[in-house]
């Protein structure tokens, strides 16, 4: 079972993603947050296998969170779940496993989980 942490400032999207992931039977959501402040320490403490991260956080906080988490947990896999394509090149330069655009679709999320499985 994949242990996941979710970070998205949109509560509706956060709970939708959590529900979709748990429904697959392959993912255990061990933590989630709508607030980027102090989230890196929480993620490091919980040691998830994957971070599902929305980059649409104030300023550049989404990218900063991704970089800090990768520094502290080099083996963590990160999946970007966002509304914009604008940071796709940055994401792949950072060795991000997948870049999923909202609105979330079950088929696309399933493809992302397959990539996680291959990467582990």
Q: Where are the domains of the chain?
A: 2-105
* Site of tokens 């940055």: 90
Per-residue confidence (pLDDT) for residue 95, from 0 to 100: 85
Q: What is the biggest distance separating any 2 CA atoms in the chain, rounded to whole angstroms?
A: 34
pLDDT at 120 over 60: no
> Percent of the chain having pLDDT more than 90?
76
Better pLDDT: 42 or 56: 42
What DSSP element (H or E) covers 16? helix 11-24
Going by pLDDT thresholds of 50, 70 and 90, the confidence category of residue 88 is confident
**CATH code assigned to 2-105:** 3.40.50.2300
* Site of tokens 């649409």: 56
Q: Whole-prediction pTM value?
A: 0.94
Give residue-wise pLDDT tens across range 60-78: 688 999 999 999 999 999 9
């Amino acid at each position: 079972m994949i242990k996941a942490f979710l970070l998205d400032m949109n509560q509706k999207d956060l709970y939708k993603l959590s529900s979709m992931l748990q429904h697959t039977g392959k993912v255990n959501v061990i933590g989630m947050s709508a607030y980027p402040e102090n989230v890196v320490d929480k993620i490091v403490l919980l040691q998830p296998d994957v971070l599902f991260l929305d980059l649409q956080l104030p300023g550049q906080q989404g990218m900063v969170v991704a970089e800090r988490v990768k520094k502290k947990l080099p083996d963590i896999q990160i999946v970007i779940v966002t509304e914009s394509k604008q940071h796709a090149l940055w994401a792949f330069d950072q060795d991000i496993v997948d870049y999923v655009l909202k609105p979330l679709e079950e088929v696309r999320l399933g493809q992302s989980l397959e990539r996680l499985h291959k990467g582990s």
